[in-house]
Structure formats: C-alpha cells, structure tokens
Amino acid sequence: MDSLPPSALPDGAGCHGGRETMLDAARAAGKTAAMERLMADYPRGPHDQPQSMCPAFGSLRVGLRMRRVATILSGSACCVYGLTFTGHFYGARRSVGYVPFNSETLVTGKLFEDIRDAVQATAKPEEYDAVVVINLCVPTASGVPLDLLPKQIDGVRIIGIDVPGFGVPTHAEAKDVLAGAMLRYARQEAEAGPVARPKSLVEGEPTIALIGELFPADPVGIGALLAPMGLSVAPQTPSREWRDLYAALDCVAAAAVHPFYTASIREFRAAGRPIVPSGPVGVEGTADWLEAVGRAANLPAARIDLARSRALPALQGALGANPIQARVTVSGYEGSELLVARLLVEAGAEVPYAGTACPRTEWSEPDRAWLEAHGCHVQYRASLEQDMAAMEEVKPDLAIGTTPLVQRGKELGIPALYFTNMVSARPLFGPAGAASMAAIVAAQTRGRERFGRMVSFFEGVGTKDGAGYGFAGKPVDPPGFRERQRKIRAARAKAEEAVGT
C-alpha cells in the first residue's frame, strides 16, 4: 500500500537486532510518537530494563481474561508460540489469533492488509465486544500502523496496540498498555452518548475503582473496609468484561493500588476522577488509605472516623495474633512488592530490602517514604543482580522474589518463595492479609535449619563440574588438563587475531 511507511528494520535484524537498532527502526518507520509515549509512561532505570518474561504477555493476559474479547498477535512465530504457551500455562481457555509474515509482506505493507483481513473475519458481534490486535517487536519496529485499522466493525470495537520488548520494560506494565487503551475507548464512548448498563451497577451508590490485578478476595475485603463510609468497590481495572469499564469510570475516585498503571490513571483523570495512592495494608496503611479515600470522595470526617474505628481494631487483633519474627527480603515484578513489605514490617518482621522491577511513580511515594522511615532500602527497577546481592548480604530468614532468586536462595540454604505464585496468590488487605502473610512466613522459616543440613550434606555435588549422572564420587580433572585447555584457547585467539577474523 502506498500510504504505508516502508519498513526501516535492517535486513536480518529481526528480534535480535538490539534495543537501539529496533528503536531507531521504529522511529524511522513512523512510530516516534508511540515510542515516546511508552518511554514517558514506563521509564527505565540506570540499566536497560529488568529481567522478565516477554512484556507482551501482560497485554495478552488482560485480553484473555476478558469475556467476549478476541486477541490477535502480530509478531515473529517464535514469540507468538512462547506467548500462547505461557498464556495457556496461566489458564487461558481460548484461542489466540496470529497473523504470520515474511520479509516481503513486512516490507511491502501486505502484513497490515493481512491484519486488517484477520480483524474483519474475527469481528463478529454475536461473539465479541472487542478485538485486540497486539504488535510485537518486529511489526512495531517496521512501523505496521495499527492506528489505521477501523475503530469498529459491525459494533465490535477494534483496539490496536504496540507492545514491543524494547519499549515496555515489564509484563506488569504491559497490562496497563491494554487496560489504558480500553479505558480510553470506553471513556470516549461514554462521553459521546448512552452506553450499555454494567451488570453490577447500583444507582446512587458511590464507588471506588481499584487499579491493579488483585487476588479475588481482596476487592471483597476492601469493600468491607469502605462500607461504613457508604462506599462500595467498582469493577477493578483491568476489567473482566467491556461493560465493567463504564462502571469503573463512573467511580467517585480511583485507587492506584498497583502504582505503575500510568495510562489507566491518565484515563481516570481525564474522566475527572481523583487518584488515591497506596493501599489498605496493616494498621497505619489502612488508616491513612481510608482517610485519603474519604477526602477524595468529599465525605464528612465523621464517616471517615467511623470506617477507621471499625477497621483498625480488627487489623490490630489480626496482626497481634499473627506476629512475624523474621528477617525478610522482598522482590518481584508484580508491582505490589512495597505493599507486601509494609505488611511484613507492621506484623513485626525486619525488612531491610524491597526491590521491584516497576518504576518509581508518585502513586508509590507514601509506601516508599514509610518503608525507608522503617529502615528498608527501596529499589525501583531492580535487576536480578541487585536482588541477589541484597539477599546474600542480608542473609534473611526468608527471601521472597523471582524464580532465579529463589533458586539461588535455596543453594545458599536460605528459605525462599516465588512472589507471583505464593504471595500474589493470597489476600493482602485487611485482617485476612495479615493472617495469610504470617502463615506463609512461619511455614517457610521453620525449614531453614533443614536447608542448612541439606546444603552441607550435598556440598559440591550436582554443581559446576560435578553436575550430571554416573559419578560415584566428585569428578577429578586429569593432571594438567585445565592448563592445556587454557593454552589451546590462547593460541586459537592469537591465530584469529593475526588473520583479522
């Protein structure tokens, strides 16, 4: 198509061309505005970006969890395979569309035409409310213009987004890319005229919208905290169906429980909704959060005091009944790491380090300030190396983090938990959160002495040169073997240098 910009991706660059090469190609192909928006919404730290799974998984996950929403991926086949595999591993029960391409269709613009045809064939109003198209790295770098897709087909909304690994640092933030795009579409629909009535809407009942993927019991617990103020919980963002977006935007205030949802927060602000930072964790966190919510909702002080008087004694009782006496390091890439660290400290734990792969935003400032005042070092955009260094220096009774950190912790005889599967999969807020966290820590720290015995017993076995099967004892190198190999490598390097290769 003559109207489409030619691909600026160098021949053979593909997914492995390097971040700067891909960024330059995307800008040259007309994606400058899109890349600048991603860079502004999801800034990086001093290093390139945290180690994580493919960021696009976050957007894919949001789409797959919504009813009557179809998802189509445009990217390299290996990327699409990995993303769909991970999506189904996490419980997706629907197909993922895929538009393949080759060098010719990419360069000539035929890929865009193929995407448009796929969207046309998928957009069936009897089956879907929306079709989401996600550009992965190569189509984004090549300038495939999803903004030229029709905005709707037979009433089915069409949403195209770029989620390149070189533009979105973590999969947690990629959830916000799609959630924000959907909120923008829904907000514009509501501003243009009447929209479908949300199933759970109760007339005259003011609500608080929760931003972030939360454990299913947490919105219920937060609703109980808000009830004395005459407030209830709106459908959370990311939503489970399209009509929930209208109900979320109809709130009196939005709570940035996960503080990195920059695009979503922008849409709530555009709808005139105030934003409340942090979340109701522990006694101090809950007291501060309820007051902030009440002020944002313009409630009288008496109603705020009533909510606090009912919530805080139960929280104090739960924390008192479930004390945590342990040193714990916290790290992860979900975005709730600082809230978890706050709850641990209020329960009595010593938390010298809290690392998160997500960026520092104004919505996490209350948690950062509180943690640092309680002796915790907070590391935004934390790398795996930083998390491991903190664990090895602190030598905690329990390390909470990503899978490679957990592996390293167990090698050192330190009990360790995978944040995503073991912490995010439990309640965090209210009395239930306090009891749940204490049970996790108690169960794991009881095993530290056993870990120490195992490390001592198996020392040197199954690691480095001792890895593998069939050894009756620890393998021993033949005399002079390592020195001979070193000389062979040095001679080969010298020969290559001499011939200029």
Euclidean distance between the first and final Cα of the chain, in Å?
43
Q: What mean pLDDT do residues 436-442 have?
A: 87
Q: What mean pLDDT do residues 218-244 have?
A: 95
Is the pLDDT at 232 greater than 70, yes or no?
Answer: yes
Q: Which of 82-91, 101-110, 316-325, 482-491 has the lowest mean pLDDT?
A: 82-91
Predicted pLDDT at 49: 61
* Mean pLDDT, the chain, whole residue set: 89
**SS3 labels along 37-96:** HHHHHCCCCCCCCCCCCCCHHHHHHHHHCCCCEEEEEECCHHHHHHHHHHHHHCCCCCCC
Q: Residue 57: phi, psi to the nearest 5? A: -60, -35
Closest to 259 measured CA to CA, from 237, 232, 239, 292: 237
Quick one: which H or E segment has residue 159? strand 156-162
Percent share of the chain, pLDDT over 90: 64
Render pLDDT for 458-491 as a digit per residue (tens, 0 to 9): 666 666 666 665 556 666 778 888 889 899 999 9
d(CA 254, CA 265): 8
Q: Please name the residues in contact with 188: beta carbons below 8 A apart, sequence gap of 6 or more.
A: none
State which amino acid sits at residue 328.
Answer: V
Sheet architecture: strand order including 156-162: 97-98, 69-74, 130-135, 156-162, 152-153
SS3 call for 377: strand
Q: Please name the residues in contact with 213: beta carbons below 8 A apart, sequence gap of 6 or more.
A: 175, 236, 238, 258, 334
Q: Which of 102-111, 123-132, 308-317 has the lowest mean pLDDT?
A: 102-111
CB 83 within 8 A of CB 135: no
Domains of the chain and CATH, by start: 14-169 (3.40.50.1980), 207-319 (3.40.50.1980), 322-455 (3.40.50.1980)
Is the pLDDT at 226 greater than 90, yes or no?
Answer: yes
pTM assigned to the model: 0.85
Quick one: which H or E segment has residue 292? helix 282-296
**SS3 labels along 388-401:** HHHHHHHCCCEEEE
Render pLDDT for 141-152 as a digit per residue (tens, 0 to 9): 999 999 999 999
pLDDT: which is higher, 435 or 354: 354
**pLDDT interval class at 434 (50, 70, 90):** confident
Is the pLDDT at 501 greater than 60, yes or no?
Answer: no
CA atoms within 13 A on the CB side of 355: 24
d(CA 416, CA 410): 7
Q: What mean pLDDT do residues 199-228 have?
A: 91
Could you give the angle at the alpha carbon of 279 between the alpha carbons of 427 and 287, nearest 5°? 110
Is the pLDDT at 9 greater than 70, yes or no?
Answer: no
Predicted pLDDT at 128: 97
CA atoms within 13 A on the CB side of 474: 7
**Residue 91's CB: how many other CB atoms inside 10 A?**
9
Q: What mean pLDDT do residues 122-150 have?
A: 95
Helix, strand, coil tally for the chain in percent (to 5)? 50, 10, 35
